[in-house]
Amino acid sequence: MRSNNFIGLFQCTAKSNAENSFSPPIKVLIKKEVSSHIRSWRFIILISLIVLTFGASLYVSFSGLRDTINNSQDPDSTFVYLKLLTTSDNTVPPFHVFLNFLAPLLGIALGFDAINSEQNGGTLTRLVAQPIYRDNLLLSKFFAPLIIVSVLFTSLIMLMIGAGIISTGIKIEFQEVVRIIGFIGVSIIYVAFWLSLAILLSIVFRQGATSAMTAIGIWLFFTIFFPIVINFIIRPFIPNPNYISEQEYLAWHEMILNLMRLSPSQLYTDATTSILMPSIRSLGPVSMEQMIAAIPTPLSFIDSLMIVWPQLTGITAGMMICFALSYLLFMRREIRC
């Protein structure tokens, strides 16, 4: 069925090209991939989970929004729409914390069988036999899910802003708009990292179940077990705080934090926290002298972006490395009937 759909799609494309102008094959492939994803049950289930968690987080944020606005000790209290994404009453985590957990699952679910399902179904041979390049096929497998994710995140944030304007009547500030756009961009890059990793595993492994379990295992390791391993290895070497200076103690904790940042989830947490909370001036340990000298005022978006620039670079580099390996393996693979 799937092979017949692809063949019919390319026949229609060839006919329209002969009649009109030549259409890039990648547009046809992306259109077909988007259509396949939005009709699949796994995508519908994941979207339902994300929408439900977004609704729960938004409900909790709206419940305590009045107390948050009236809190004069909070330097971020004037950023109402940013508080909707970060405020919680400890019963339900904020949305960016939920997204740190669900975004990898979304990327893995959209890419773990991108190539091996075509190969096992016999459609990969017919696809590469068409007048298209291999890189067009791989790029469509990567960009089609990102288009869906971009539309999803943008729609949810627009719903949040609309609900906030209707319920509070407070005008959204320009800096809030810029920071929310930055949050959406970081979330898309985070999903793109796990998507590229899932596509790489779908090329390496022939069975979809194997690639899915491997991707989920990597995600669980970096999300749950990696901090435990780092603390288990480093903690015994930390000297007693009573016998070292404050600078040495902070240096040890800075080293632990840098090792934790080898995890993509930690990079995403640091990036979204700094972007959504303008009052955050440092993502590492701070000495008492620095705390006393700090002025509790919100930073500009450029300053917050400079703080998390290493984190954004790390996530982007990981995504590009995974996709480059996928490209290399797929272009050099011999595809047989």
Residue 234 maps to a domain = no
Domain that holds residue 97: 16-211
Q: Does the pLDDT of residue 298 top 60, yes or no?
A: yes
Write down the pLDDT at residue 28.
Answer: 84
User: What is the distance in angstroms between the CA of the first residue and the CA of the last residue of the chain?
Assistant: 17
Q: Please identify which residue in the block is written with the tokens 């030549």.
A: 22
Task: Check residue 201 and report its DSSP letter.
Answer: H
Q: Does the pLDDT of residue 130 top 80, yes or no?
A: no
Domains contained in the chain, number: 1
φ and ψ at residue 314, rounded to 5 degrees:
-65, -45
Q: Could you give the percent of the chain with pLDDT greater than 90?
A: 22
Average pLDDT for the chain: 80
6 pLDDT band, cuts 50/70/90, is very low
**For 135-147, what is each residue's pLDDT tens digit?**
888 898 999 999 9
| 182-187 mean pLDDT | 93
Residue 260 maps to a domain = no
Q: What is the 3-state secondary structure (H, E, C) of 32-93?
A: HHHHHHHCCHHHHHHHHHHHHHHHHHHHHHHHCHHHHHCCCCCCCCCCHHHHHHHCCCCCCC
Which of these ranges, 85-89, 273-277, 312-316, 321-325, has the smallest mean pLDDT? 85-89
CA nearest 157: which of 54, 80, 64?
A: 54
Residue 47 maps to a domain = yes
Who's near 278: CB < 8 A, 6+ residues apart? Answer: 75, 76, 79, 82, 175, 179, 298, 299, 300, 301, 304
Residue 292 maps to a domain = no
CA nearest 191: which of 219, 211, 170?
A: 219
Residue 25 maps to a domain = yes
The CB-based long-range contact list for 226-229 (8 Å cut-off, 24+ gap) reads 226/260, 226/262, 226/263, 227/260, 227/263, 227/266
Residue 165 maps to a domain = yes
Residue 303 maps to a domain = no
Burial class of residue 80 in the structure, from the number of CB atoms within 10 Å of its CB (0-12 exposed, 13-18 middle, 19+ buried): buried
| 18-29 mean pLDDT | 61
Q: How far is residue 328's CA from residue 309's CA, in Å, rounded to a whole number?
A: 28
Q: Does the pLDDT of residue 218 top 90, yes or no?
A: yes
**Lookup: tokens for 272:** 């979204």
Residue 229 maps to a domain = no
Q: How far is residue 327's CA from residue 254's CA, in Å, rounded to a whole number?
A: 36
Q: What is the 3-state secondary structure (H, E, C) of 215-276?
A: HHHHHHHHHHHHHHHHHHHHHHHCCCHHHCCHHHHHHHHHHHHHHHCCCHHHHHHHHHHHHH
CA-CA distances (angstroms) from residue 295 to 247, 277, 292, 303?
22, 15, 8, 14
**Lookup: tokens for 322:** 């995974």
Q: Could you give the percent of the chain with pLDDT greater than 70?
A: 81
Task: Check residue 298 and report its DSSP letter.
Answer: P
Write down the pLDDT at residue 94.
Answer: 82
Write down the pLDDT at residue 168.
Answer: 75
Q: How far is residue 303's CA from residue 246's CA, in Å, rounded to a whole number?
A: 27
Q: Does the pLDDT of residue 17 top 50, yes or no?
A: no
**For 53-104, what is each residue's pLDDT tens digit?**
888 877 777 776 666 665 555 656 677 788 888 877 777 788 888 888 888 9
**pTM here?**
0.84
